[in-house]
Each structure stands twice: as structure tokens, then as C-alpha cells.
Amino acid sequence: MDRFSEYRVMWVLVLFDLPTETKKDKKAYMDFRKNLQRDGFTMFQFSIYVRHCASSENAAVHIKRVKSFLPEFGQVGILCITDKQFAQIEVFYGKKPQGVKTPGQQLELF
């Protein structure tokens, strides 16, 4: 059972800021994103992609793969955290908290 521990399961986050000023830059940006998606990463935010990994050994394989297709220019950060840490992320959509929407009153027709 230790194999499925929330401390053993990992998340790999790839954070990047790549230039898109020239056609060559845009192509490198698109190729990098496509390579991330081919390797099983999904978009968390526009420049943040995440991937679930069963273990730190599996995460190391994907980190090595990301390093193999790094673009020539721009900044790329790779962060590896446990499933327990990832579960503590708080995500907000806008500044104001969203209240619970109550359903409207049901009307009866005779």
C-alpha cells in the first residue's frame, strides 16, 4: 500500500516564459508546448503545465524528457512536488469568492 502513498506519488510542474517576437520564436514556443502535451502534460495555466507521476523515479524520467526538448531561448522552470503538497493548492477565479447559487423557486402549472 505504500506504493500509492500521497507522499510517494509526484506531480511535475513545468513553468515557462518563452519569447514570441519572431516566427522562429513562435515556432519554438509551439513545439515546446506540443512536446509537453505529447509527454502527458496538461495545461494548468497558460504557461504552467502539470503531469501526474506514480513515483519520483517516474517523475525523473519525465523531467529528463522535458530537458531534452528545452527551447534555445526563454526561461523554463521544473518543479516536482508530492501529491499531498499538490492537494493543498488553492485556486481562485477572480478576486471575489464565488457564493453558492441556490436554485430558483419551482412554479407549478395546473
> Can you say which residues are annotated as belonging to the binding site?
17
Which ranges in the chain belong to alpha helices (H)? 23-38, 56-68, 83-86
Q: Is residue 18 a contact partner of residue 28, using CB atoms and an 8 Å limit?
A: yes
Residues in the chain: 110
Q: Which H/E stretch holds residue 89? A: none
* Grid cell 477565479 in the structure block, residue: 93
Q: What are the respective helix, strand and coil percentages of the chain, to the nearest 5?
A: 35, 25, 45
- Binding site for Mg(2+): what residues are annotated? 17
